[in-house]
A = this chain, B = another copy of it.
Amino acid sequence: MLISGNHYQSIKYVPRSQDGYGQHVIILDQRCLPFQVKFEKLYSSEDVIQAISEMHLRGAPLIGITAAFGVVFACSEAIKSQEASVIKEQAKKIISARPTAVNTENLINYIMQKISKVDTLEKKEKTALHLAKKLIEEDIEACRMIGKHGLDIIRTISETKAGPVNILTHCNAGWLACVDYGTATSPIYLANKEGIKIHVWVDETRPRNQGSRLTVWELTENGINNTLITDNAGGYLMQKGMVDLVLVGSDRTTITGNVANKIGTYLKALAAKDNNIPFWVALPGTTFDNDSDLKPEKIKIEERSSNEVSHVEGLIDNQIRSVLISCDKVVCSNPSFDITPSRLVTGLITERGLCKASKQSILKLFPEKITQKYDNEK
């Protein structure tokens, strides 16, 4: 997508050059957004570990892909040191950089399995690189297809009304979380390209403000009209008829259609239902959780740092700093996701098309999900 009119991806692989300049990936240091656009080059598996653990980048798809390049770099380091054990050691450290990102663990384990089947370190590196580059291509294509299918929903709404289609979104399910297009944002970008008038209500998304910091920024850079609101305001806007469609991403969706997404999503789904507004979830097939018996109340939710609730980070005196917004010794709770039950979800937008948030409908599009178990890959 665009930054200052130029096209970028959230991660880009650069091969080693003839003059010995090492292979690397270029990422955006998302901690600085929207205040500063800062690119960063990661050359080593340690660079990757640091970038993931210190959240230079976020979003499950992007973390997974970056982690995969971490394995590539680990192979390269093994060649240099002629110590094959480096690969396994670094892979372990990459996984534990963000321990809650299950998809990363699955992905790394998958790559490790594949490279265990080739003999030389050089072949291992080549195999890892091939897989990592493929992940980039697959992610872009999945997001593009999500956009294509989601576009139909937006187009249909636009044909029934005069003004812009008002879309409410929560958190950042944008290209910054993926490689390009994004998930929830992809239909928006494609609709805009087609000339459909769009306006997006962006939930601030406390505590980390991915909405105010990332979504507002990426929509604005790509010419999409948007308005920042507090997380409290969405229900009111729906009551007033100012929202035509709610469009969010998902971190994990059960095969029965229950959607785990950023904390607060459930509240917007309730308001959408109460006001008869369509609530769609955009997600790649990789996001489906195969354990079809999983009840929403049983999904384990990450409890993050208290500090994120007691403080808010922003720009002051040209520096990114945090202000305390409560008493010094305040006790905080910080669950990071909630579960939107399938009964509140109008439907899912996947790279293979639209489906209902039901086991039957999901398995019709993704029949391989019946038997496939990530757990078996470990």
Contacts and interface: CB of A to CB of B under 8 A. Distances in A.
Interface in A263-297: 263-264, 266-268, 270-271, 274, 296-297
Interface in A201-224: 201, 204-207, 209, 212-213, 216-217, 220
A309 B216 contact: no
A301 interface: yes
A34 interface: yes
B326 A228 contact: yes
Given A233-B263, A264-B235, A274-B270, A228 B332 contact: yes
A162 interface: no
Given A204-B325, A206-B206, A232-B264, 13 more contacts: A207-B230, A209-B326, A212-B325, A212-B330, A216-B327, A227-B331, A228-B309, A230-B264, A230-B334, A234-B267, A239-B297, A240-B297, A270-B270
Interface in A236-281: 236-237, 239-240, 262-264, 266-268, 270-271, 274
A235 B267 contact: yes
A333 B227 contact: yes
Contacts of A267: 232, 234-235, 267-268, 270-271
Contact of A229 (B35, B240, B262, B332): B332
Given A228-B332, A236-B266, A297-B239, A313 B323 contact: yes
Contacts of A316: 316, 321-324
Main secondary structure of the interface of A (DSSP, over half): mixed
Contacts of A274: 270
A59 interface: no
A96 interface: no
